[in-house]
Chain A
Amino acid sequence: MNTMQKVAASAVVRHLAAPVVLVVVGLATAGNDYYLHLATAAGIAYILTAAFNLIYGYAGIFNLSIIMTYGLGAFTSVYLEVHYGVSFWLALLVAVVVTSTLSVLVALPSKSLGELFLAIQTLAFALALGEILLSWEEFSGGTIGIYIIPSPSLFGLELIGGYQEFYWLTAVFALLTFQLMRNVHRSGTGRKLVALREGPRILASVGVSPGQARLVAFGLSGMLAGLAGALYAHFQLVIDLDTFSFHRLVALLLATILGGAGYFFGPVFGVLAILVMDELSLVTSQAQDLIYGVGILVLVVATRGGIAGAFQRLVARFTPARQRSGPLTTASGSGEQRNPQRVAEQLAEEGPRRQVTVTDLAVSFGGTRAVDNVSITFATGEVVGLIGPNGAGKTTLLNAVTGDVPTAAGAISLDGDRLLGRRQQDIVRMGISRTFQSPKVIPELTLLENVMLAGDGLDGPGWVNEVLRTPGSIRHDRRSRERAMALLDDLSLAGRADQLVGDQPYGVQRLVEIARNLMLQPSFLLLDEPGAGLTEFERAEVAEVVRALSHRQIGVVLVDHNLSLINAACDRVYVLDSGRLIADGPPAEVFARQQVISAYLGVPG
C-alpha cells in the first residue's frame, strides 16, 4: 500500500471508528435493559467527562463548579418543559445557553487566581449554588427532587429514557461531542488552550488574549456539561440535587485523571474504567469509596497521563518510524546546513520603515529604579544591541516595551502610536514580538505545533471557525503548517518537527522560540539573551540569523552578555548600568570606552 492509500485509509478509519463502535454497542445491548442502561449512562458520562477534560486537561483550569453546571443543565431543561411547555429540543438549546453563560460568569471573578484558590472558589460556588437551588423548590424540587420528566419526541417517536431509542439519541450527541473534541484537539483551539495551561504569557506573546482563551474554555465546557445534564435528566426520569453532589464530582475527577487529562481519548478510557470500577463496587457490596479512594491514590502516584498517556507511550515505543529520524544534536557538525538567508526570505516583503522610540523611561520596583530615565530608539532594518552587567535593567527595559511591567514615567511609541498601557497581546499584534531569557515553549506540544501556535494567534480563523472546523479554518491550518514547516526546515529542525519540544535540548528550544516569533512576521524582534546556554557554534548561527533578518527590514534588539555575538551582529549598541544609559554608538567604538569597560569589569574608571 502506498502512502496515499494509507493516508486515505486511516482517514476513513478515523472518521468511521466512533460511529461504528456506537452502532455496534447499540445493537449488542438491544433487548438487555441493564446493558442498555449502562451504555446510555456511559454515553452521557463521556460528554460530561469530555467537558471537564476540555477545561482541566487542555486548559489546565481546575474548575470544580462544573458539577453544578451539569446539574443546572438538567434542571433548566426540565423546568422549561414542565412550566412553559416547550419541547425538549428548545429546552435543551436554552439549557445549554444558560449553562455556558453561567460557566463564563464563574470565569470572571476567578481570573487571576492560582490553581488551588480557583479550585476552592469554584467548589464553594458549586455548593453555594446547590444551596440556592435547594431553596428554589419550583425549580429543583427541593430535597424531594423532580419526578415527572417528559420524554423527548422526534417526529412522533417517543424517546423514553432507558429504552433503545434514547440510547440512539445519546449516541448521536456523544458522537457530536467526540467530533467537537477532535476539532478542538486538531485545530488552533487545542494549541491555544494548551498554551493557556502552560502559561498565559506564551499566549500573549503570539498575540492571543489569555483572558479570551479562558472564556472560550469555560464557555465550551459549560455548554457540554449542560448538554450532558439535560440528557441525564431525561434518561433517569427522576432527578434531585443529590445527583449532582460532591460524590458525583469525585467520580468525574477520577474518570478524567484515570483516562488521562489532556488526552483526546482520555474521557473514553476514563468512562470505561469508571464503569468497570462501579460494577466492581456493586459486586463488592457498595465499597465504592474504597475503590475510588485506592484508585485515586494509586493513580496520582503511579501514572502520568492516565490510561491514555500510558497507551500513547506504548504506541510510541512500537513506532520508531519517521519521528525518530531527525538529527540528534543541534550543532550541525553532522553536515546539516542551516539556512538563515532563507529564513529571512520566508518573511513578508519589505515594509515601510518603522521606528520605536523610548523617551525618558523609568521603571521602579519598590524603591529601586530598575530603569532610570532611559531614551533609546530602534528602527526596522537595524540590529541594536542592549548590553550591560547583570542587574543593569536590560530585561526590564525590554519588558517595558512589550508591556510586561508597568512603568513609572516616560513614553514608548511606535511610529507615533503610544505603546505604553497597551496589553501584551496588542503590542504583539502591532508588530513587536520577543523571546524570553529562558525559552518559553510548550513542552507537551511538538515543534511544529509550537511554531504553528503563532499562526493561530495573529491572523487565525478565530475560535468559532476552528471548533466547527470550517473549510476556511482547514485551509488556514494547512497554510500555517506549510509555513511553520518551512521555517523549521530552514533551521534544520524539520526532521524533528513531530517530536515533543519537552524532549529537546536547550538550543533547539531556543530556535523553536525564535521560529515561533518569525512566524508572527514581526516588524521588530526583541531577543532576550538568545546566546545564553548555546555553544559557540550555535551563537555564531544566531548572529547570522539576526543579520539576515535585518536585511529584510526587521528591527532586531539583542540583549546579551556575549560581546563577540554583539560585535558580530549589531549595528549600534546601547550600554546600561544600574538602570542608566552610559554609552551608545557602534560596537567597536563603545567597547573602547573606559566607562563601559569599568562597568563590565569593575575597574575603577
Chain B
Amino acid sequence: MLSLIVTSLSLTAVLIPLVVSVSLVFRVSGVVNFGAGYFCVFAGAACASWGAENALLGVVLTLAAGAVLGGLTYAAAILPAQRKGVPVIGLTLSTLGFGLLLNFVTRQQFGGQPSIVQPWLTGSVQLGDFQTARQRLLIIGLSLLLLIGLYLLFDRTLIGRALSAVAHDHELAAVYGVRSSRFRLLAWVVSGVCLMIGGIFQATVASVSIDVAPTLLVLSLVGAVIGGLGSLFGAVGGALVAGLAMTVTDQFIAPGFHLTTLLVILSLVLLVRPSGLFTFRGTAERV
C-alpha cells in the first residue's frame, strides 16, 4: 500500500509541473504546446551537462533557459501566427515546429544520448517494509512547494488576478488597462520554467532521452485533460489520477502499459465529463 502511494506520488510529482505548464498556456492562449516533450528532453540534457560540477548552478541555468525558451515560443511560434489569424490547430503545429528546433539544439549541444541528472539526495529510506530513494521523496516535496508557490502567485497576487482576467476575456482586460500580451508572455515564461522542472525531476529519478519526448508530451496533455485543461488545480488533480493509474497498472496489471491505461481513462473522462474531472465552479475560474 505504502509503495503504491509513494510510487504514484513520485510519478505525480514529475507530472505536476508538466500539467501546470499545459494548463497555463491553454488558459491564456487557447493552445497546447506540442513541443512540451522536447522541452523536457532539453531540460534533462542541459541540467546534466551544466550541473556536472555544481548541481545547483545547473538547475538555475536550466530554469533560466526554460524561461527564455518559453518566452521565445510565445514570441516566435504563437504571436506572429495569431496576428495572421491562424486557427488553433495551426498554432499547435507551430509549437511543434519550435519544439523540433529545440530538439535540434539539444542534439547539437548535448549529443543525443539519454541523460541522467545525479540525484540531489543519495541513498534510500526504509518506510515499513518498503524502501525508496530519498530523491523520490525530495521531488514529491519540491512539487508540493511548487504548487504552493503557484497558488500564492496566481491566487494571492494582483499578477494572478490580471492573468485570470486576460485568460477570461482579453479584450475586457484591455479595457481595464491590463496589458494582455505582457501577461501572456509571463504565462509562457512560467510554463517554460515548469517544463524544465518536470524534465529535471524526470532526469533525477530515471533518465530522459529524445525517444521519450512524445511520451512525455502525451503524459502532460492527457494528465491535464483528465483533470480539466481550463484550471490549474484541476490539471494537478489530473496528474494525481494519472500517476495513480500508471502505478496501479505497473503493480497489478502489467508493466509497460502506461499510455494504454491513460487512454482508457482519457476516453472515459471525455465521454462522461469533457471539461475534466476536477473542474468545479471555484476552480474553473482561476488560472
Contacts and interface: CB of A to CB of B under 8 A. Distances in A.
B256 interface: yes
Nearest to A56: B89
A356 to B, nearest CB: 34
A296 interface: yes
B104 to A, nearest CB: 4
B270 A109 contact: yes
B80 interface: yes
B104 A131 contact: no
A250 B92 CA distance: 12
Give the interface centre of B88, B215, B259, B274 by most chain A CB atoms within 10 Å: B259
Nearest to B79: A301
Contact of A294 (B101, B103, B213, B270): B101
A257 interface: yes
Interface stretch (B44-52, B154-162, B217-225): B217-225
B214 interface: yes
Interface string A106-147: 000110110111011101110110111011000000000000
A109 B274 contact: no
A18 B169 CA distance: 51
Interface secondary structure of A, over-half rule: helix
A300 interface: yes
B31 interface: yes
B76 A120 contact: no
B270 A121 contact: yes
B218 A127 contact: yes
Contacts of B100: 250, 289-290, 292-293, 296
Contact of B256 (A119, A131, A289, A295): A131
B95 to A, nearest CB: 9
B175 interface: no
Contacts of A600: none
Interface in B57-104: 76-77, 80-81, 84, 86, 88-94, 96-104
A253 interface: yes
B86 A300 contact: yes
B104 A301 contact: no
A218 interface: no
Given A132-B257, A135-B257, A245-B214, 16 more contacts: A109-B267, A115-B88, A117-B274, A124-B262, A125-B263, A131-B257, A131-B259, A131-B260, A135-B256, A246-B214, A287-B104, A290-B104, A293-B103, A294-B97, A295-B97, A297-B94
17 contacts: A113-B274, A116-B89, A117-B270, A120-B221, A121-B263, A124-B259, A127-B259, A131-B259, A250-B100, A290-B104, A293-B98, A293-B102, A297-B101, A300-B81, A300-B86, A300-B90, A300-B91
Interface of A: 62, 109-110, 112-113, 115-117, 119-121, 123-125, 127-128, 130-132, 134-135, 245-246, 250, 253, 257, 287, 289-290, 292-297, 300-301
